[in-house]
Chains A and B, each alone.
Chain A
């Protein structure tokens, strides 16, 4: 750390640190010795093929999954073995946007967004209502407080879930595919929101996405997770000039020769 130039992002302290994380489900190895530090105040984009363990990686940060081996640190506190109760103060500082939105079906949109405020803060009812309205407006869902999640489209649910994830002014937001299922204009609004949170509130962010346009727009640092490990890590330019053909193939979005052959057989 000492030899990095002042002003470069790596001089900033690590907010989240993974050390040698192994995680398997049954006989399927998903994370195979992943070590990575996510810098405070930075937006890191995690790319990778479907089913490679990106969501699994995020769930380790909030303690929804525990590693088979290895350690997870939040600042300097080891968090991978904490109970729900001990984890609570850390979860309070993290906003999590679930890939499937995970809105509570039995509650209105307003109650969904208010939920973290009610469990984690001592705001008055009026303040909660104000905050809910404000956050819904930020994601373009104003005046939808009384709707039920079942009445919303997939993209609308995602935006409500995003409003819920940022309700508590978290210092770290984990976005699991924030723009999936949104039209290009909405996607860009979400990108702008991520940038705005980052620039104005200095929120740190980890963005898992398949949307390369979004990735290049919001990402200060790009990481590719593939085959249980991190195969590339650097700025957008680093990735574009990366020598590994898997990286090139991924960021240009070309189909694999083998996959194409399989298609031609049809």
Chain B
């Protein structure tokens, strides 16, 4: 785990913007390569059968992440579902289709809002905590101590966190989906007086298993992105409390951008998959 070399030192003292741009490009490439290597060694740590201790640590992490994130994920999901109903219902009512509002709420929640919202919540809530914890361990030489005492830091610290996050992200997304739909239902049916049966009828008609799975597949990948970025930033954090703070911010910003980027790529890919699987139906993605 050699630290990456940066090329700042080779710069001349006068501001030479071409050289600076070049140095930035080289350093960015090195950082990306470094992160790739980090990710691959994590993957290797997962694929080599994780030992009993890694598994119990994973379960502990899952418990941590689950219990602490469910409230925030549910609150956020519920309000977004409610807002969707508030904003779309007048439009649907105008064209006399108020009873179909269930379908649009369910599709938006299950495919986009649920996974993305959960991912952003997790990036802030879990990612920050992971980066801070691992960063502090690095700064106080605990990661070095692990290595000296014959424990692989990736296996001991990173693998349980990544596994736990990858498993928990889809589960939490399901919670967020359920509460989001419920939020929409409360506004549409309980407050605005849409009839109960058509709400659920159209909601069910517009969703199939594939649609739900799209959300869960996304959540799976978001789980990988959030945990890998958070652990990586923690492992590579600079010195002192300031270094830890900066690493946390960077982890959130990088994680957030990568979530949006992978959402876009996954949407394209899954759309093509849908067209290949069901060639005669119009794409609903």
A interface with B by C-beta (< 8 Å): 26-27, 59, 62-64, 66, 84, 88, 91-92, 94, 96, 98-100, 102-105, 115-116, 119-120, 164
Q: How far is the CB of B19 from chain A (nearest CB, A)?
A: 16
Question: Complex: how many Å from CA A88 to CA B151?
Answer: 9
Contact B145 A119 (CB under 8 A): no
Contact A119 B150 (CB under 8 A): yes
Chain B interface residue count, Cβ-Cβ cutoff 8 angstroms: 19
Contact B148 A104 (CB under 8 A): no
Instruction: Using known A-B contacts A26-B9, A27-B9, A66-B2, determine if residue A98 contacts B149 with beta carbons closer than 8 Å.
Output: no
B interface with A by C-beta (< 8 Å): 1-2, 6, 8-9, 136-137, 140-142, 144-152
Contact B144 A64 (CB under 8 A): yes
Question: Complex: how many Å from CA A245 to CA B6?
Answer: 38
List 5 tightest A-B contacts by C-beta distance, closest first.
A102-B145, A102-B141, A119-B150, A116-B149, A27-B9
- Find B144's partner among A92, A98, A120, A164 (CB 8 Å cutoff): A98
Question: Complex: how many Å from CA A91 to CA B2?
Answer: 18
Contact A119 B144 (CB under 8 A): no
- Find B149's partner among A27, A99, A115 (CB 8 Å cutoff): A115
Q: Which residues from chain B contact A164 at a C-beta distance below 8 Å?
A: 149
Contact A84 B152 (CB under 8 A): yes
Q: Which residues from chain B contact A98 at a C-beta distance below 8 Å?
A: 141, 144-145
Contact A120 B149 (CB under 8 A): yes
Q: Which residues from chain A contact B136 at a C-beta distance below 8 Å?
A: 105
Contact B148 A62 (CB under 8 A): yes
Instruction: Using known A-B contacts A26-B9, A66-B2, determine if residue A102 contacts B142 with beta carbons closer than 8 Å.
Output: yes
Q: Which residues from chain B contact A63 at a C-beta distance below 8 Å?
A: 147
Contact A102 B150 (CB under 8 A): no
Q: How far is the CB of B58 from chain A (nearest CB, A)?
A: 15
Contact A100 B140 (CB under 8 A): yes
Q: Which residues from chain A contact B144 at a C-beta distance below 8 Å?
A: 59, 64, 98, 102
Question: Complex: how many Å from CA A66 to CA B1?
Answer: 10
Q: Considering only CB atoms, which chain A residue lies closest to B1 in the complex?
A: A84
Question: Complex: how many Å from CA A104 to CA B148?
Answer: 13
A-B residue pairs in contact (CB < 8 Å), sample of 25:
A26-B6, A26-B8, A27-B9, A62-B148, A63-B147, A64-B148, A66-B2, A84-B147, A84-B152, A91-B150, A94-B148, A98-B141, A98-B144, A100-B140, A102-B140, A102-B142, A102-B145, A104-B137, A104-B142, A104-B146, A105-B136, A115-B151, A116-B149, A119-B149, A119-B150
Question: Complex: how many Å from CA A66 to CA B2?
Answer: 8
Q: Considering only CB atoms, which chain A residue lies closest to B153 in the complex?
A: A84
Question: Complex: how many Å from CA A102 to CA B9?
Answer: 31
Question: Complex: how many Å from CA A92 to CA B141?
Answer: 18
Q: Which residues from chain A contact B147 at a C-beta distance below 8 Å?
A: 63-64, 84, 91
Contact A91 B148 (CB under 8 A): yes
Q: Which residues from chain B contact A26 at a C-beta distance below 8 Å?
A: 6, 8-9
Q: Which residues from chain A contact B150 at a C-beta distance below 8 Å?
A: 88, 91-92, 116, 119-120
Q: Considering only CB atoms, which chain A residue lies closest to B141 in the complex?
A: A102
Q: Which residues from chain A contact B6 at a C-beta distance below 8 Å?
A: 26
Q: Which residues from chain A contact B142 at a C-beta distance below 8 Å?
A: 102-105
Question: Complex: how many Å from CA A104 to CA B141?
Answer: 9
Q: How far is the CB of A161 from chain B (nearest CB, A)?
A: 9
Question: Complex: how many Å from CA A59 to CA B148?
Answer: 10
Q: Considering only CB atoms, which chain A residue lies closest to B5 in the complex?
A: A26
Q: Considering only CB atoms, which chain B residue lies closest to A112 in the complex?
A: B145
Question: Complex: how many Å from CA A99 to CA B6?
Answer: 27
Question: Complex: how many Å from CA A245 to CA B91?
Answer: 89
- Find B151's partner among A94, A96, A99, A119 (CB 8 Å cutoff): A119
Q: How far is the CB of B38 from chain A (nearest CB, A)?
A: 14
Question: Complex: how many Å from CA A255 to CA B152?
Answer: 44
Question: Complex: how many Å from CA A164 to CA B141?
Answer: 15
Q: Considering only CB atoms, which chain B residue lies closest to A119 in the complex?
A: B150
Contact B152 A100 (CB under 8 A): no
Q: Considering only CB atoms, which chain A residue lies closest to B10 in the complex?
A: A27
Q: Which residues from chain B contact A88 at a C-beta distance below 8 Å?
A: 150
Question: Complex: how many Å from CA A96 to CA B144?
Answer: 10
Question: Complex: how many Å from CA A105 to CA B6?
Answer: 31
Q: Which residues from chain B contact A66 at a C-beta distance below 8 Å?
A: 2
Q: Which residues from chain B contact A64 at a C-beta distance below 8 Å?
A: 144, 147-148
Interface centre among B2, B136, B148 (most CB of A within 10 A): B148
Q: Considering only CB atoms, which chain A residue lies closest to B150 in the complex?
A: A119
Q: How far is the CB of A60 from chain B (nearest CB, A)?
A: 12
With A26-B9, A66-B2 given, name 10 new contacts (CB 8 A): A26-B8, A62-B148, A88-B150, A98-B141, A98-B144, A102-B140, A103-B145, A104-B146, A119-B149, A164-B149
Q: How far is the CB of B154 from chain A (nearest CB, A)?
A: 10
Contact A104 B145 (CB under 8 A): yes
Q: How far is the CB of A168 from chain B (nearest CB, A)?
A: 9
Q: How far is the CB of B175 from chain A (nearest CB, A)?
A: 27
Question: Complex: how many Å from CA A102 to CA B147?
Answer: 12
Q: Which residues from chain A contact B8 at a C-beta distance below 8 Å?
A: 26
